[in-house]
Amino acid sequence: MLIIRPIRASDYEALYSIAVESGHGFTSLPVNEELLRSKIARAEASFTKNVDTPFDEGYLMVLEDTTTNEVVGTCGIEAAVGMEDAFYHYRLGTEVYHSKQIAVRNEVETLTLCHDYTGAAELCTLFLKDAYRQGNNGRMLSRSRFLFLAQHEHRFGKTVIAEMRGVSDAKGDSPFYEWLQKYFLGIDFVEADYLSGLGKKAFMAEMMPRSPVYVCMLPQKAQDVIGEVHQNTKPALRLLQAEGFKFRNYVDIFDGGPTVECGLNEIKSVKRSRLLTVEVGTMPDCDSQYIISNTLLADYRATAAHLSVSDDLDSVILSPELAKNLKINSGDKCRVLAL
């Protein structure tokens, strides 16, 4: 059985392996022991912290194969970005130039450095090992976060965002970043992305262009990838778009990839998830697959299962094995979502 649970200190080696496998552009998991151990410790503290208002908590979870005890994936949610470290984006805008005298009117796209998403929750750190990229595993891992958001809404910003990986080649080089490297930063994309992942962002404020950038003055290959996603990220983007996430003209400052957003309470899976009372017993045969989670925090568990769920009933039957793996007893509440 594949179970999603909060990360713990003993998962360090597995997380390091995932950081290596995820490759360039996966900023949230740099290959750095100190940072990865810090991420785990921060997640452990976040899952046990009393929260009235979201601040800098990070909820990092792993997908464990209970038959092998192997960690095979990760997913995470940041409670409110930019509260301690600056959270930069480029905002795509338009400037209009018009002269009656010469009868000319031009609209020019601009990129302006901003912190507009400060305080938003962020979906992040989604990764699944190759051998498990089959069936509904990826969809379950990604959408399980919406059950967590629905259950613990007060712990997150009211807007939820997701930064989509932008276009880069096999070596990690980004067409969008090339002009920035040449005229401003002077370091290559992989190094800049790595420093950002470490939280060492002072160089951004010191070296990024302070005035709006005219898109038409960028090299054509840089213009072409603004708001475009990496080939491997397209399925994840389609999934989020189906949930109601939209592109609002914000792009990553390094690779130009789009950031999409949705109000927490407007996410379709948040709205459609249901709280049901658990009965432990013999599960009836059913073809409908659901994501199911408990309602706990530090002991959060989620998985996918075939359940018999009725619109007319507020209860669901779970087998003893499933209930045990989810840390649920008869009479407890669970949250379910059709997969």
User: Which residues are annotated as catalytic?
Assistant: 230
Cα dihedral 260, 51, 114, 183 sign: negative
Q: Could you give the CA distance from residue 309 to residue 316 in angstroms, rounded to a whole number? A: 6
How many beta carbons lie within 10 A of that of residue 207, not counting itself?
A: 14
Strands 70-78 and 89-99: unpaired
Angle between the 33-48 and 12-22 helix axes, to the nearest 10 degrees?
Answer: 120
